[in-house]
Amino acid sequence: MSSEHEFNQAGEKAFDEAAATAQDAANTADRAFQDATEKLTEMFGMTQMQMPEAFRAMTERSLASARENYARLKAAAEESTDVMEDTVENAREGLLQVQFKALDNAKANTDAAFDHARQMLGVTSFADAIQLQSAFMRSRFEALMDQGNGMRDLLTKVTEDTSRPARTAAKKNLDKVTSH
């Protein structure tokens, strides 16, 4: 839980830093526009109203572009944070399932071992003991194979669930790129 909280805090901090950097860039572009306007006014002795319309339009487009880029960067950072959060949550849930499955398997194996020990205490001949031991080993081998297959299936599911948010985001971004 603590590492998940630290991960979320690190993601939020990275997002806040990226947003602040993008906002600083937009502010810098705005200040640059104002400075350029003032310098041109001083150089050419023109008022803002007399400044060539083409220069003003170009500067305004640049500023609008910087704001659009900031908005896209912010949206991408938010989306990336969401993908990371979903991935971590899916991994946490998957690992819990794996731990519960391992505990269930350990309990089943322990119960079988104790049942076998009880049965061994009741044997009356060496031949019965060998037969009981052989049957136990056969049943444990089959159970271990079933448990291994079940664990493999669960780990495959956990891996797919954990990677799903990243795969979905990658497909979405690839679709965006190919559609433009």
153-175 per-position pLDDT tens digit: 999 999 999 999 888 888 887 78
Over residues 83-91, the mean pLDDT reads 91
In the block, residue with structure tokens 């795969």: 167
Which amino acid makes up residue 40?
Answer: L
Structure-block tokens of residue 88: 């971590």
Of 158, 10, 160, give the one whose Cα is nearest residue 85.
Answer: 10
On whether the CB atoms of residues 60 and 36 are closer than 8 A, the answer is: no
Helical H segments across 45-122, by residue range = 53-121
Residue 27's pLDDT band, with cuts at 50, 70 and 90, is confident
Q: What is the distance between the terminal CA atoms of the chain, rounded to a whole angstrom?
A: 41
Question: Would you give the distance in Å from CA 16 to the centre of its chain?
Answer: 18
On whether the CB atoms of residues 132 and 115 are closer than 8 A, the answer is: no
Residue 152's pLDDT band, with cuts at 50, 70 and 90, is very high
Over residues 2-18, the mean pLDDT reads 67
